[in-house]
Amino acid sequence: METLRRKNRDFLWGVATSSYQIEGGADKADRGKSIWDTFCEGKGNVKGGADGKFACDFYHRFRDDLKLLKELGVNAFRFSLSWSRILPEGRGKVNPAGVDFYNQVIDILKSYDIEPLVTLYHWDMPETLYRCGGLLNRDFAGWFSDYTEIAAKAFGDRVKHFSTINEPQCVIGDGLVTAAHAPGDRLNGGRMRAAIHHLLLCHGRAVSALRATLPHATAGFVNCAIGFYPENENAETIEAAKKSTFALYDALPYSLSLYCDPVYLGDYPKEYYEAYPDTEDFIRPEDLREIGQPCDFFYQNVYGGSPMGVKDGKPYSPPTKKGDPANGLGWRVDENGLYWISKFVYERYKKPVIIAENGYCGLDNVCLDGKVHDADRIDYLQRHIGKMTDAKKDGTDIAGYLVWTFLDNFEWTYGYSKRFGLVHVDFSTQKRTPKDSFYWYRDFLKTVQPCSKK
């Protein structure tokens, strides 16, 4: 056991959250309005007419919540900054109260020997910047760079791990194409692809700003993708699963390689240029160099898997069987996806992988005994951590694993109807009840981490 602990000394075991989903305090301390504030005001956009004005009230309850985090025993906490809390207008004057809030959170984390992993953008763009064109405006990349520099200077003396953008696939696909998320746009054609390019410029310039301000900080880019895996582990099906992982999907914005190839390999996939030759019209000569600034980690969010087979020499995805396990959102539960997507992205991009989100949506209730018995989530975590361990043994460099999520929260368009947390939140009273999965993860962490200095 001691040997295992030594190997895990630098491994990041933790949980992940996002600002809009947990903070609340929307009208406190000069926070500006975000696109999610506006989106929630639209009729029918969010289940039950819910919004994030109060969420988990982490803004007021962070001290007690971080005590729970200490009890959990993690050594890493991924959270995002609210751009609107730091820069109420998105640019210009910095809000001292917003900076002070995050300083307090970071100071407590450091006192608990918990590494803060800061995500700069988790979908909550300042409304004022959206009204200035948002990602259709090339200037947005400069605004994002300025915001990054402010965050780096304010927090970089204690934060060494930064990720720029969470799930660009959802930022574009859900927010700007299908209108499922804020800001609720329906772009297509060249406008959609220009937004993708500008988002990648945001990432690249943010990394440059981090490097200039914090030479020793790490930088990464958080992606999501379908975890395709080979139905049968022979060379043909493995290759089919790999090609499917990096293919350009018909639903273009959800493609993994579209975002990651420019960031980690220096250029868009050749298939992209072949399919959309006009793409080069909005790529300036220096853009790809800026986008391809060196990163330290490949952050990957993964929630399940999808088998890939070969039939008559062509790849195909076997249909879901009746009764196959699924979570509360109907997402297929299949831990094999984590093993193979970690392997595939490591082989292609040659960066240590951090599983930045992995978790189970349930319909969790406090039982008559006052406890929350979420056996399905425990089983889910055991399965996925097991596959991650197998991937590490087989040569995939995985540097961290973060459970989504710490607290039940505002689950975007589902409002408060879906629960991913290790801690149950009664949103009427804000009472916290650690679930069985909280105690399972706590006890598990004791077996894989070095003896704590806390």
Catalytic residues: 167, 357
How far apart CA 262 and CA 291 sit, in angstroms, is: 6
Distance in angstroms (rounded) separating the CA atoms of residues 244 and 226: 9
3 state SS of 453: coil
Alpha-helical (H) ranges within 162-234 are: 168-172, 189-213
Cβ within 8 Å of residue 287, ≥6 positions away = 197, 201, 204
* DSSP string for 264-322: IISS--HHHHHH-GGGGGG--TTHHHHHT---SEEEEE----EEEEEETTEEE-PPPPT
- 306-311: strand order across its sheet: 228-230, 306-311, 314-316
**Among candidates 172, 166, 204, which has minimal Cα distance to 191?**
172
d(CA 19, CA 22): 6
Compute, in degrees rounded to 10, the torsion defined by CA atoms 163, 166, 168, 169: 140
Distance of CA 323 to the CA centre of its chain: 29
